[in-house]
Copies of this chain bind each other. A is one copy, B any other.
Amino acid sequence: MITIDDVAKLAGVSKSSVSRVLNGNFEYMSEGMRQKIEKAIEQLDYRPNAVAQSLKKKETKVIGLVVGDLNSFWSEALRGVQDECMRNGYGLMVSESAWDPERDIANLNMMKSKQVDGLIVSPISQTNKVTELLNSFNIPFVFCDSTSGDILADHVVTDTIAGATEAVEYLIGLGHRRIAVVVFPLETDVRRDRLEGYKRALMKHDLSIDDSLIKIFKAGKGNAVDTVVQLLKSPDRPTAIFSTNMHLTLDVLKAARLAGLNVPRDVSVVGYDDTEWAPLLDPPLTTVAVPAFQMGVKAASLLLQKLQVKKSKKPKTVQVMPKLMIRNSASPLSVMRENPSIN
């Protein structure tokens, strides 16, 4: 390994001077010295040892990302985080806890030990044990996507209710009045919020909430298909369906086909969660996209901003809006055929 001393020796100067050019302290330095040193650095292909720098400067220029699951959301958000980090000269350490709360804690501790300058966290346990630990670390952090316990911390989230509301209002705007919703069991905030958004949209437009149009499915293969087929074959069938999850949406599309209904001509469909395949499906799916990349960027930039001004003010919440991706799986009600062919 080649060190700052080697450079100093080759250039015939002291290492303090070398350190100065390394850190861009050219204020009181002769041109000659600067050039000599830069040449030596070049010649030796010298790269400063960031570990030693970190030890001395008490900052690593690395931030940590601790997520419960590198799922499709995070694999995209990660790119945003990484992008923002690189743009600002920060490295990025990532760790996944695979839904194991123990590992979540362990990963957090590991990050602290590695002396990361800041942390982006998407905790899996909803207890505020994580928040406490994070606070004890005494390093800046932000939650992203998911939060933990009583969140008095900075966080970046989407407005799920608003997203769902917008989706359903879009359908209402197309003239639909009987709109069904399919959703997984209401075990998480996200699911509850998506249903809540559906209800709010209806209420906002003085439409009654018909429980027979709210279908809750357990996760599992295909059990949604049959139910949706039945729903679509009933005399007072919905003219549109808001599907709160991509898996369910695929079932809904399949059910429509089985019921002999064309999407969007006979029945409109709007889904939640965008994927790279949504636009490629047949029909291209209108969905509510969670801007994962953007959220990653926001989380990172919020964190880096905190690193600049060490004095933390009051918690800041960045609300990112989901975006309705209008493709053509939903169409105006008037286009609908009066008597759709039902097999």
A253 CB contacts on chain B under 8 angstroms = 282
Check A325 for interface membership: any CB of B closer than 8 A.
Answer: no
Check A36 for interface membership: any CB of B closer than 8 A.
Answer: no
Contact with B along A114-142 (1 / 0, CB 8 A): 11000000000000000000001000000
Check A110 for interface membership: any CB of B closer than 8 A.
Answer: yes
Check A34 for interface membership: any CB of B closer than 8 A.
Answer: no
Q: How many copies does the complex hold?
A: 2
In contact, B92 and A51 (Cβ under 8 angstroms): no
In contact, B75 and A91 (Cβ under 8 angstroms): no
Q: Which residue of B lies closest to A253 (CB)?
A: B282
A110 CB contacts on chain B under 8 angstroms = 91
* A74 to B: closest C-beta gap in Å: 8
A282 CB contacts on chain B under 8 angstroms = 250, 253-254, 257
A83 CB contacts on chain B under 8 angstroms = 96, 98
Of A91, A113, A247, most buried by chain B (CB within 10 Å of CB) is A91
* A170 to B: closest C-beta gap in Å: 24
In contact, B55 and A51 (Cβ under 8 angstroms): yes
* A3 to B: closest C-beta gap in Å: 12
Q: Which residue of B lies closest to A251 (CB)?
A: B280
* A196 to B: closest C-beta gap in Å: 26
In contact, B50 and A113 (Cβ under 8 angstroms): yes
Task: Choose from B54, B79, B247 the contact partner of A96 (Cβ within 8 Å).
Answer: B79
Q: Which residue of B lies closest to A54 (CB)?
A: B51
In contact, A75 and B70 (Cβ under 8 angstroms): yes
17 examples of A-B residue contacts, CB within 8 angstroms? A47-B109, A48-B113, A51-B55, A51-B115, A52-B55, A62-B93, A70-B79, A72-B75, A86-B96, A91-B110, A92-B93, A92-B95, A93-B93, A93-B94, A250-B282, A251-B280, A275-B277
